[in-house]
Amino acid sequence: MTYQIGNKSDTGKVRKQNQDYFGKYGGSYGDLLIVCDGMGGYFGGELAAQIAVESISAHFTDLGEDYDPELVLKQSLLYAQNRIEDYKIDHPEVSDMGTTAVVLLLHEGQFWYAWVGDSRIYLAREGNIQRLSTDHSYVQDLIEQGLIEPSEAATHPQRNIITRALGTQNFEAEIRGPFKLVPDDRILLCSDGLHGYFSDSELLRFLQLEAQEACNQLVDEANARGGADNITLQIVRADHIMSSSPETGLKKYNAITLALMGLTVLLFTVAMISGIVIYSKSLSTREQLSLSAKNKHVADSLKAARAEAEKFKQDEAQALKERAQDEALAKRRALRLKREAEERARIADSLKKASEAGGTE
């Protein structure tokens, strides 16, 4: 499965600081998208969101293709919780910081998702849209208790109170999956600064656009409608399923084995030709004439043998080409991992400098 992925984050029209944070990552484990909405005063919310995104992604870094997605999602969110709590212990000036989180994992044509707080995930499929997450919020509790209607939630005076978040005592995330991806599916992850301005039908209309264009237009429209909060979103569009060809005999042999097989065929061909020449010279004219029909059969066999040798030669070239591609892919993956490690180091350094600046103040 291939994807289009778009994303955007904006401070909005009212807030002076963007406390949202997002990340997009990829590896042998698949593709990982995260959106976090931080809270907790000056610097606190921004730090919590950054720590959460970087911690969740770091937990996936060394995974291979074979793992338990649900378990790893749970562990990654717990790791983020512990990292935030540790930071709060060392920096009491941000002891009230926390963050929501919504996470999407794409792997082998399936997806899993997790969330805590009121950041949301939506699925648009075949002209319909469905909210996959349920807000961990005070107004959602009122809806479930039948005390208010869903239409009242958007304007309720206590709509911003959340009941779960990373960095708080009630941090348990909900995890769902696996679900099959269908070509042309659209998946939206967003903070409440976006979804608070749109109905489901409006979101569905924007999601028909290309992924990045949809992100750009949704942010612009949210700002036009007030932009009272930070606005962050990521959109994935599933393009198509990559067809995997059946495993051929070529996969079972390395280049050396193929070369030896090809050499064997060539030697066999040479031996047949030599034998025919020697044998022909020892025959009488009558026997040679009677042999002509047999020679035609042998010639056909030689032609088939040459064709087989050529096939092995082509297979050998293909094997060498695939090995070179695999080595190039490994180099690119190692370079990407190095860059991600450097980026995590940079963020850690920025967090340290921010905390030192906060301590100075």
Q: How confident is the model over 156-187, as pLDDT tens digits?
A: 888 779 999 999 999 999 999 999 999 999 99
- What is the spatial distance between Cα 21 and Cα 98, in angstroms, rounded to a whole number? 12
Each residue's pLDDT tens digit, 43-73:
789 999 999 999 999 999 988 888 999 999 9
Q: Which of 3, 1, 37 is nearest to 20 (CA)?
A: 37
Look at residue 281 and give its three-state secondary structure. Answer: helix
- What is the spatial distance between Cα 357 and Cα 354, in angstroms, rounded to a whole number? 5
Indicate the burial class of 160 (C-beta count within 10 angstroms; 0-12, 13-18, 19 or more).
middle
Query: Count of CB atoms within 10 A of residue 23's CB?
Result: 21
Evaluate whether 33 touches 69 at the Cβ level (below 8 Å): no
| Cis peptide bond upstream of 178, omega within 30 | yes
- What is the spatial distance between Cα 249 and Cα 251, in angstroms, rounded to a whole number? 5
- Report the pLDDT value the prediction gives residue 346, as an integer from 0 to 100: 75
Evaluate whether 261 touches 310 at the Cβ level (below 8 Å): no
- Residue ranges in the chain modelled with pLDDT below 70: 41-42, 240-306, 308-313, 315-317, 319-321, 323-337, 340-341, 343-344, 354-355, 358-361
Query: Count of CB atoms within 10 A of residue 329's CB?
Result: 10
**Residue 99 DSSP code:** E
| H or E stretch covering 289 | helix 285-360
Query: Count of CB atoms within 10 A of residue 193's CB?
Result: 29
Q: How far is CA 93 from CA 40, 42, 52, 169, in A?
A: 10, 10, 18, 18
| H or E stretch covering 24 | strand 20-27
Query: Count of CB atoms within 10 A of residue 163's CB?
Result: 16
- What is the spatial distance between Cα 262 and Cα 260, in angstroms, rounded to a whole number? 5
- What is the spatial distance between Cα 285 and Cα 290, in angstroms, rounded to a whole number? 9
- Report the pLDDT value the prediction gives residue 305, as an integer from 0 to 100: 53
- Report the pLDDT value the prediction gives residue 144, as an integer from 0 to 100: 87
- Report the pLDDT value the prediction gives residue 331, as an integer from 0 to 100: 67
